[in-house]
């Protein structure tokens, strides 16, 4: 399963985002380092369920909206010089290893300094926070490389290819290959045989870029001054109000409103009488949602998975005529897969044995056989025929 990690300086709203997205009960407070141990939970990407267009009822979606699970990690806040162990530095950075992509949460309201202390809205430049996280991650990677560098350079005895492999081996856990290192070497015009460890910092920045795609989430947009918002919008920041999303999720859970994560509006449930405070709170949230077409939490998760990681959703079925499994459940599974995946990849994802015994696949919509190397599309419904 795909894993997204929430990272950023302390007190920017990572745990609020996490709680809103997973509905897990985690601690939230207006001071730095509320979270020390990482929180692990399940969030969802939202997509249109194919049952809607096929005029079927699947029982796995809500009004035609399918929520597909992804892992979400909420980690301790990171402060400048974390790579040197400041704050909870290294522990935090190690928690990012398992992430496929990072949601870098910043405080778009500019109300907290670089260490997460409240300073009053508009008194800190959030653009600074964007740069610092990339730098800390780069230096974290550099620190790891430094530990191995003497061995790698000694072992290679001046042979470039051995050095490339040696570096790639250190970062296999981050999905880095020898080809990646060779590409970076060419791009940066580095001579790995003769570089000093300091000259490897740009290479480490590239390793971070390749292994940890990052979406910057401008949280607390409900309090962000216009001048900061327009500066951040120019940097393609995904705006969010995690506190608004959390309030809506709680209100929907209590049947006060009708709202699905990712909706651009909510409606107050029939026969519910609201207190003046509730009315005021909801009106403020509605105002934010109008401007950003929602609270931004679901939108950020979707953007990370579908745009950053380039994933599609594919639905395996056993009966292509009724779009169901052997038990008659319609569209029982939804799999997130990389764009460029084939039916054979899907077979492997369903089960290793089904992958090994793969014979052919059928597109359930057209009932046509598709080739093993055919490229799957988002929303495809596929029957796999295998010897197992």
Ligand X SMILES: Nc1nc2c(ncn2[C@@H]2O[C@H](COP(=O)(O)OP(=O)(O)OP(=O)(O)O)[C@@H](O)[C@H]2O)c(=O)[nH]1
Q: What does the binding site for Mg ion look like in residue numbers (CB under 5 A)? A: 14-15, 34-35
Residues in 104-143 at the binding interface with ligand X, rule: CB under 6 A: 116
Token pair belonging to 295: 């609270």
CB of 118 to ligand X, least distance (A): 9
Of 220, 160, 316, 256, the C-alpha closest to 20 is 220
CB of 115 to Mg ion, least distance (A): 14
Number of alpha helices (DSSP H) and beta strands (DSSP E) in the chain: 12, 13
Taking CB under 6 A as the criterion, the residue among 5, 14, 312, 350 binding ligand X is 14
Contact partner, 261, from Mg ion, ligand X, none, Cβ < 5-8 Å per class: none
* DSSP-based three-state secondary structure for 46: strand
16 binds ligand X (CB under 6 A): yes
Taking the least distance from each CB to ligand X, the nearer of 34 and 65 is 34
Binder of ligand X out of 5, 7, 11, 113 (CB under 6 A): 11
Per CB under 6 A, does 197 bind ligand X?
no
Q: Which residue, 11, 17, 12, is CA-closest to 244?
A: 17
Give CA separation, 50 vs 54, 57, 314, 321, 379, in Å: 6, 10, 10, 14, 7
Quick one: which segment of 5-13, 249-257, 305-313, 320-328 binds ligand X (CB under 6 A)? Answer: 5-13
- Which CB, 107 or 345, lies closer to ligand X? 107
Closer residue to Mg ion in complex, CB, 35/156 = 35
User: Shortest approach of ligand X to residue 332 CB, angstroms?
Assistant: 35
Q: Toward ligand X, which CB reaches closer, 219 or 341?
A: 219
**207 to 236, contacts with ligand X by CB under 6 A?**
219-220, 222-223
Sheet strand arrangement including 368-370: 335-338, 311-317, 381-386, 358-363, 368-370
Within 10 A of 155 (CB to CB), how many other CB atoms are there?
13
Conformational region of residue 310, where left means phi above 0, alpha means psi within -120 to 50, and beta covers everything else: left
Q: Which residues contact 238 (CB under 8 A, 6 or more apart)?
A: 215, 216, 217, 218, 296, 299, 300, 303
Binder of residue 223, out of Mg ion, ligand X, none (CB less than 5 to 8 A by kind)? ligand X
243 is a contact residue toward ligand X (CB under 6 A): yes
Stretch of 6-14, 162-170, 191-199, 253-261 contacting ligand X, by CB under 6 A:
6-14
Pick between residue 103 and residue 167 the one whose CB is nearest to ligand X: 103
Nearer to ligand X, 121 or 201 (CB): 121
CB of 109 to Mg ion, least distance (A): 17
**Least distance to ligand X, CB of residue 112, Å:** 8
- Give, as one character, the DSSP assignment of residue 155: H
Give the x-and-dash track for 49-88 against ligand X (CB under 6 A): ---------------------------xx-----------
User: By CB under 6 A, which span of 33-41, 54-62, 181-189, 229-237 interacts with ligand X?
Assistant: 33-41
Q: How far is the CB of 241 from Mg ion (least distance, A)?
A: 16
Distance, CA of 377 to CA of 114 (rounded, Å):
43
Size of residue set near ligand X by CB under 6 A:
24
- Closest approach, Cβ 19 to Mg ion, in A, equals 9
Q: Which is nearer to ligand X, 49 or 79 (CB)?
A: 79
103 touches ligand X (CB under 6 A): no
Query: What burial letters (b/e) apply to 26-57, b meaning 16+ CB within 10 Å?
Result: bebeeebebbeebbbbebbbbbebbbeeeeee
Measured distance CA(125)–CA(117) in Å, rounded: 13
| Positive/negative CA dihedral, 73, 36, 107, 82 | negative
Helices 201-211 and 126-156: crossing angle, nearest 10°? 110
Q: Residue count of the chain, please give it.
A: 388
Residue 34 vs 98, nearer CB to ligand X: 34
Region of 199 on the Ramachandran plot (φ > 0 left; ψ -120 to 50 alpha; else beta): alpha
CB of residue 72 to ligand X, shortest distance in Å? 13
Q: Which residues bind ligand X (CB under 6 A)?
A: 10-16, 28-30, 32-35, 76-77, 116, 219-220, 222-223, 241-243
């Amino acid at each position: 399963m795909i894993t997204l990690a929430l990272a950023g300086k302390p007190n920017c709203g990572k745990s609020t985002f996490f709680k809103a997205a997973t509905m897990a009960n985690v601690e939230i407070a207006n001071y730095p380092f509320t979270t020390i141990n990482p929180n692990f939970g399940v969030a969802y990407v939202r997509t249109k369920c194919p049952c809607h267009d096929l005029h079927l009822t699947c029982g796995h979606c809500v009004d035609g909206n399918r929520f597909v699970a992804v892992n979400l990690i909420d980690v301790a806040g990171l402060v400048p010089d974390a790579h040197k162990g400041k704050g909870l530095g290294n522990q935090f950075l190690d928690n990012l290893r398992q992430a496929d992509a990072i949601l870098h949460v910043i405080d778009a309201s500019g109300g907290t300094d670089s260490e997460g202390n409240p300073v009053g809205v508009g008194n800190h430049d959030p653009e600074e926070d964007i740069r610092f996280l990339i730098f800390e991650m780069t230096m974290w990677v550099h620190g790891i490389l430094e530990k191995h560098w003497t061995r790698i350079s000694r072992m290679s005895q001046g042979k470039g290819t051995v050095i490339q492999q040696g570096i790639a081996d250190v970062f296999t856990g981050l999905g880095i290959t020898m080809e990646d290192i060779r590409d970076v070497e060419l791009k940066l015009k580095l001579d790995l045989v003769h570089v000093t460890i300091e000259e490897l910092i740009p290479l480490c920045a590239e390793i971070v870029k390749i292994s940890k795609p990052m979406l910057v989430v401008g949280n607390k947009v409900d309090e962000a001054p216009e001048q900061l918002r327009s500066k951040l919008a120019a940097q393609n920041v995904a705006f969010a109000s995690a506190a608004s999303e959390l309030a809506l999720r709680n209100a929907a859970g209590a049947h006060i409103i009708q709202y699905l994560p990712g909706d651009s509006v909510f409606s107050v449930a029939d026969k519910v009488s609201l207190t003046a405070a509730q009315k005021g709170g909801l009106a403020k949230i509605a105002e934010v949602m109008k401007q950003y077409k929602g609270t931004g939490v679901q939108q950020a998760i979707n953007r990370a998975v579908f745009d950053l990681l380039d994933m599609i959703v594919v639905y395996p079925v056993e009966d292509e005529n009724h779009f169901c499994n052997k038990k008659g459940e319609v569209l029982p599974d939804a799999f997130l897969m990389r764009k460029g995946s084939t039916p054979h990849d899907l077979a492997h994802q369903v089960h290793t044995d089904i992958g090994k015994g793969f014979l052919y696949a059928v597109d359930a919509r057209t009932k046509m056989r598709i080739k093993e190397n055919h490229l799957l599309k988002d929303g495809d419904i596929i029957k796999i025929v295998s010897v197992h």
